[in-house]
Each structure stands twice: as C-alpha cells, then as structure tokens.
Amino acid sequence: MSVAAYIKDFVSLFYPDLCVGCNTFLYDHEQLICSYCWYNLPVTNFHRDSENASAKQLWGRVKLKNVASYLYFGKGSNVQQILHHLKYFSKPKIGLMLGEEYGKMLSRTDFNTAEIIVPVPLHPKKMKTRGYNQSAYFGEGMSTSMNIPMIIDNLIRHTLAESQTTKKRYERYENMRTIFKVKQPEVFADKHILLVDDVLTTGATIEACAQQLLEIPGVKVSVATLAYTK
C-alpha cells in the first residue's frame, strides 16, 4: 500500500466519506453516491415518451423538439440531498457523473441529433460566489458520453434575477424573460441545440433561454434536465 493510501485510510477514520444521497459510509470503490442510491435512483424514462410530464410542462409556451428529465425530484428525497450537495457543497463531480449516465441513455434516442450542448448560465456574481455552474457540469458529463460539443459562454445571463423560490409561475416568467442574451447568434445559427439545466420546476428559466435561442435563424432546441419536480 502506498503512503498516500495509508494517509487516506488514516484520515477516513476521523472524516469518513459519506454518500451524498443517504449519508451512509462509502466503500473504497464508491464515489460520492453509494451503490444502493445509484441502483435506486428514481429514473423517469421520459426520453422514451414524447408526451412526458416535462414536455407537457412547456407545451404551448415555447416550441421545443425534445424534452426530458433524468430523475424525479421530491422534497426530503435522496435526489434532493444529491442536488443539494451538487449546488451548495462544492461537489460538481456529481453533475459530471449523472450527466454521463443520462447522456448514455439519450445517445440512443433522437436527442443524439443535437449538435451543441448549452447549459443554462449563471449570473457572473452567483458564479463567483459558488465557483462553478452545476448545469455546466451536468452538460459536460452528457457531452462526454454523447460526443456532442458544449459551448458555455455564448448564452449568457446579463441580469441577476430575484430569487425564484417563492414566486408563482407567471411571476417567475416575468422575472426571467429579459435576463438572457446570446452574444454571437451566428455561432448557433441553423443548429440543433440541447439546452441543459439542473431542475425543471415551473419551466420559466428554460422557457426564457429557449425563446432567446429560437430567435436565431434555423435554430431547433431540445431540453434535458437533471431532475423534474413532481
């Protein structure tokens, strides 16, 4: 056993690695999420049904080619704990891992006709505070397994929106609809864009981003989110 391995084992006696989903001890072969949580993730399989709940959430609001979400999100669930660690506890690798798994699923569907992956952007102030964009890490994982390039700096958030947490659907849309812009529209022209985000709730953020993208000639937009709020 190497010196580094000895040190790791010694440190783990006092600071053991715990699953971000259920808070149990992780075995050596496990990373961040234990095997039990992995095998019991509440997968939606929305990518197999064009009339899924995520798609219906956005019907009549914005024209989208495909819409799907990877996991069901419920309050107090393991998925909520996993996403909480992804967003607020400096564990962006969770996004990479889940993105790679979801990308494998989507690569066998019409989603794989996308030519560019674009994550929903954070405002620079929030980016500076958090240090990373969790949706970009989710997108990076998908990019790896789907072999589709990701562009992170062309769709930008130029206004810091008020918190969405307590707002109703219309208030969220009004809060979001003017805060995104595309810096170089010609980069996206005539492309099929896969727009990715962490959680689909009311859909106001996705709607606002997609509307900006669809103003570009020839653009088609599909949407994939890490989770869908039941």
pLDDT per residue as tens digits for the range 154-171: 999 987 655 555 556 666
- In the chain, how many domains are there? 2
Are residues 4 and 61 both part of a single domain? no
Are residues 185 and 156 both part of a single domain? yes
* Token digits of residue 10: 């010694």
CATH of the domain at 164: 3.40.50.2020
User: Which pLDDT band holds residue 123 (cuts at 50, 70, 90)?
Assistant: confident
Are residues 58 and 163 both part of a single domain? yes
Query: What is the H or E stretch that residue 196 is in?
Result: strand 192-200
Are residues 192 and 209 both part of a single domain? yes
Q: Which domain covers residue 191, as residue numbers? A: 42-229
pLDDT per residue as tens digits for the range 61-85: 999 999 999 999 999 999 999 999 9
Contact 151, 187 (CB under 8 A): yes
* Token digits of residue 158: 């130029």
Task: Please give the pLDDT value at position 167.
Answer: 58
pLDDT at residue 8 tops 80? no
pTM of the model: 0.87
Provide φ and ψ at 18, rounded to 5°.
-120, 150
